[in-house]
Amino acid sequence: MSADISQQLQQQLLHAVEQRRSLRIVGGNSKAFYGREVVAETLSVAGHHGVLNYEPTELVITLRAGTPLSEVEKILDDNGQMLPFEPPAFGDKATIGGTIACNLSGPRRAYAGATRDYLLGCKIINGKGEILTFGGEVMKNVAGYDVSRLMAGAMGTLGVLLEVSLKVLPKVETEVTRLFHCSAVEALDKMHAWSQTPLPVSATSYHDSILRVRLSGASKAVNAAVSHIGGEAMENAGQYWQDLKEHRLDFFNTEKPLWRLSLASDIEPGRLVNAGEGDVLYEWGGALRWLRSDAPAQMIQAAVAELDGHASIFRYADQSTIFQPLTPGLLRIHKNLKQAFDPHNILNPGKLYPEL
Amino acid sequence: MQHSEKIESNITSVELIKALTNIVSSEAVLFEQEDLKPYECDGLSAYRAVPLVVVLPDTIEQVQQILALCHNHHVPVVARGAGTGLSGGALPHEQGVLLSLARFKNILHIDAKRRIARVQPGVRNLAISQAVDQFGLYYAPDPSSQIACTIGGNVAENSGGVHCLKYGLTVHNIQQLKIITIEGELLTIGGSGLDSAGYDLLALMTGSEGMLGVIVEVTVKLLPKPERAQVLLAAFDDVVKAGEAVGNIIAAGIIPAGLEMMDKLAISAAEDFVHAGYPLDAEAILLCELDGTNEEVSEHVLKVRAVLNSSGATEVRTAKDEAERVIFWKGRKAAFPAVGRLSPDYYCMDGTIPRKQLPRVLKTMADLSAEYNLPVANVFHAGDGNLHPLILYDANIPGELERTEEFGGKILELCVEVGGAITGEHGIGMEKINQMCVQFNSLELTQFHAVKAAFDPLGLLNPGKAVPTLHRCAEFGAMHVHKGELPFPELERF
């Protein structure tokens, strides 16, 4: 399946510019919970789909933004490759464009890099209705500012993604997960000890007194690593990491708001007491922590800022997502950049911050 | 050579120098011609300009005050690290301040547990790896100038190196920056987590060539040193076969730590220079480095050896020990100076291409080489498609530099034509500014200017570099149409 609706999208955008009406950009609408609410006419990108170029030996794939993530993963899988950042889909409707716009990465992130790290280039429509191309299909490209990566995580506030080029990698040969029963402090110690060595760790998680570690790579290397780190074998580990990535574990089935905390990996649990009481699930060697808490947003964000990290309500809150407030200097730059790409405030206004 | 864009300052040079000496000690302000001379160029010595004044601050507060001063008086500022850049990015502005970060050379903090190092911008790339070696860690990006180039410049250029296919560029290996805006404001970009709130300004700053802010601190990510590294050397009787072998290695599911190709001229130059034992009868050699755990490397060496043989290699050698591994690499790392011995001057290009286009690009380059009567040696980061053709010329022959630049420009345009880019790791600077008009259309260039204005509305930081004005492209476009006949001979050209 393949369809190019870039002209329609551009026309709708130009029309919105003319009438100074804002647009809510939607791919598969699978991550509608994420980000602040935008009340505006819908610009639907889902119909803009298809693989434009895929050269397995070049490690590059170029896709229209509305291409379903599941389709992308299937094509890569058929060719023995994968998206190394293991993006969550949150349902079967996710598109590659939404994946890039939200810049959410899965369990492998701490060991292989984030969504933005694999973005090589993109074609966008900016807020003036201009179709622009940045970056490309080559691994190394330092011509001009890195506008492509700026789009990752901008949640559509700077441009409508039309096409993206991504670096892909070969699938791993062998994966084994080991588990350990231990305290959070011991888990952090173990994860840091492993990270000092070239062990082929590709994911870690800790919750409910269980530390899980996934090892990926050449089978001999994985086997050697297993005998080095010990622990118990884990059954159905592949399903576990999928469920963690897609927030299908019991932990995520919560009445309380789900917070995403991004901070230095070695922050001990005791140092987060100012963020209030709550159950915590650790990922990324400790650098990502999911917190179920109904403590006031300001309190949690102040506590995390104190530790030089940032916190956002991810979902299940009455109010829409609240991202960590920016310092005045950074907010000024953000506003200037929004003005540079979307001077009439057409694209997803307020999705990320009220001022953008 | 005059490259500078005109900016009307509202301060005299005498007043400016006086004001600067109120911020830093007088020995840190250079304005005598003989003191300014060493700063007139960076690694691209064909382009030279003497700045009005050089200032060497040693605190962040001084940098803030200097930038605020320049902002208030509309004085251009060009930041400079070690000056090893190859695209004229640190070429001074004749009416401006050359802001040297050379005194910011301290490693401020190493956190082995978090695997990060917080360093000042003037710290040399290699010095970071040396300082963290005791913890079994290293900083992955390794541009070939790593012994001299500084981390601030690496961030400004988004430097790569021979290991970036597996370990990424500078943008993948930094976590936080402190920058000073042109107004003198200190901003912290990034954080101590793996991501930060808001737009990805860390990516935007990386590779921005000193156009958006002045970097005063960098937090780099460190990696555990691989348990083992092994290098294979394969010889081919045809460069196309060597190129295909690269694709076959990747198709076998292996991402080598380094994958380098050299052509016949580069091989013989390197062999003459360092005696690495390279096969002189080969049309191309591949160096393939595999790293990881001991078991992984053993497994991959066998696989790669088989792939190289089945791809038609005439010879495959595995370095028998660490000493031989080092000597295999020594030839590659010395390729530029080695080629430099063949000719009075050489001009290093930096295009990237999709690897499958290699045969076409090499063929066209050979044709152009014959047309211009200028030899080319090719050194190629084959894994990631980054081509470094070295054009041999003699600057003392009138007109030869200009012909070389024209030839180089055509190579870059060819890279764009086959779906690649005009620069993989050296940056645009002054050198490739005209080719930006080939890579990007006027709407895209206008968007770049708007990004620049979001940080520096007066255009005082590194004026005239990295992104051409539309006016300049119009002139360049006219030149294109008429090929060799320059329609406006009186206009400045680079």
pLDDT band of residue B490 (cuts 50, 70, 90) is very low
Smallest Cβ–Cβ distance between B226 and the set A198, A262, A310 belongs to A198
Q: How far does Cα A119 stand from its chain's mean position?
A: 12
Instruction: Give tens-digit pLDDT for A87-96.
Output: 999 999 999 9
Quick check: A217 and B296 CB within 8 A? Answer: yes
Quick check: A334 and B198 CB within 8 A? Answer: yes
Extents of the domains making up chain A = 2-170+335-341, 174-245, 250-315
Sign of CA dihedral B51, B57, B60, B64: negative
Residues of chain B with Cβ-Cβ distance to A140 below 8 Å are 160, 164, 169, 352, 381, 384-386, 421, 424-425
Give the count of Cβ contacts less than 8 A between chain A and B: 262
Residues of chain B with Cβ-Cβ distance to A324 below 8 Å are 197
Quick check: B165 and A139 CB within 8 A? Answer: yes
pLDDT band of residue B1 (cuts 50, 70, 90) is very low
Alpha carbon distance A31, A119 (integer Å): 20
Quote the pLDDT of residue A319: 66
Residue B109 to residues A192, A193, B114, B120, B219, Cα–Cα distance (Å): 18, 20, 11, 10, 9
Query: Does the structure show a pLDDT above 80 at A236?
Result: yes
Out of A34-38, A169-173, A176-180, give the one with best mean pLDDT.
Answer: A176-180
Quote the pLDDT of residue B374: 96
Query: Does the structure show a pLDDT above 50 at A356?
Result: yes
Q: Does residue B442 sit at the A interface (CB-CB below 8 Å)? A: no
Q: Which percentage of chain B shows pLDDT scores above 70?
A: 96
Smallest Cβ–Cβ distance between A143 and the set B250, B422, B451 belongs to B422
Q: Which residues pair with B179 in a beta bridge?
A: B187, B215
Burial class (CB in 10 A: 0-12, 13-18, 19+), A354: exposed
Interface test with A, best of B200, B435, B441 (most A CBs within 10 A): B200
Q: Does residue A247 sit at the B interface (CB-CB below 8 Å)? A: no
pLDDT band of residue B481 (cuts 50, 70, 90) is very low
Query: Does the structure show a pLDDT above 60 at B71?
Result: yes
Alpha carbon distance A54, A62 (integer Å): 6
Alpha carbon distance B96, B75 (integer Å): 6
pLDDT band of residue A273 (cuts 50, 70, 90) is confident
Instruction: Give tens-digit pLDDT for B170-180.
Output: 999 999 999 99
Q: Which percentage of chain A shows pLDDT scores above 70?
A: 99
pLDDT band of residue A104 (cuts 50, 70, 90) is very high
For chain A, the average pLDDT equals 95
Q: What is the arithmetic mean of pLDDT over A110-138? A: 97
pLDDT band of residue B291 (cuts 50, 70, 90) is very high
> What ipTM describes this predicted complex?
0.97
Smallest Cβ–Cβ distance between B206 and the set A114, A146, A327 belongs to A146
Quick check: B193 and A339 CB within 8 A? Answer: no
Q: What is the arithmetic mean of pLDDT over B376-386? A: 91
Q: Does residue A55 sit at the B interface (CB-CB below 8 Å)? A: yes
Instruction: Give tens-digit pLDDT for A184-213.
Output: 999 999 999 999 999 999 999 999 999 999
pLDDT band of residue A59 (cuts 50, 70, 90) is very high
Count CB-CB contacts under 10 A for residue A90.
23
Alpha carbon distance A312, A228 (integer Å): 37
Quote the pLDDT of residue B491: 38
Instruction: Give tens-digit pLDDT for A244-259.
Output: 999 999 999 988 899 9
Q: What is the arithmetic mean of pLDDT over B206-231? A: 97
pLDDT band of residue B5 (cuts 50, 70, 90) is low
For chain B, the average pLDDT equals 92
This prediction has a pTM of 0.95
CATH domain A2-170+335-341 topology: 3.30.465
Q: What is the arithmetic mean of pLDDT over B415-442? A: 94
Residues 35-54 of A with CB under 8 A from B: none
Quick check: A56 and B426 CB within 8 A? Answer: no
Q: What is the arithmetic mean of pLDDT over B337-365? A: 90
Q: Which residues pair with B374 in a beta bridge?
A: none
Backbone angles phi, psi at B185, to 5 degrees: -90, 135
Query: Does the structure show a pLDDT above 80 at B478?
Result: no
Q: Does residue B254 sit at the A interface (CB-CB below 8 Å)? A: yes
Quote the pLDDT of residue B198: 97
pLDDT band of residue B444 (cuts 50, 70, 90) is very high
Instruction: Give tens-digit pLDDT for A325-349.
Output: 999 999 999 999 999 999 999 999 9
Sign of CA dihedral B204, A88, B254, A52: negative
Q: Which residue of B has its CA nearest to A159?
A: B447
Alpha carbon distance B361, A13 (integer Å): 39
Alpha carbon distance B100, A224 (integer Å): 49
Q: Does residue A142 sit at the B interface (CB-CB below 8 Å)? A: yes
Query: Does the structure show a pLDDT above 60 at B485?
Result: no
CA atoms within 13 A on the CB side of B440: 32
Quote the pLDDT of residue B475: 85
Do A2-170+335-341 and A174-245 fold alike per CATH?
no
Q: Which residue of A has its CA nearest to B425?
A: A142
Instruction: Give tens-digit pLDDT for A296-314.
Output: 999 999 999 999 999 999 9
Does domain A250-315 fall under CATH 3.30.70? My reply is yes
Residue B2 to residues B47, B100, B191, B331, Cα–Cα distance (Å): 9, 21, 41, 37
A174-245 CATH: 3.30.70
Quick check: A113 and B453 CB within 8 A? Answer: no
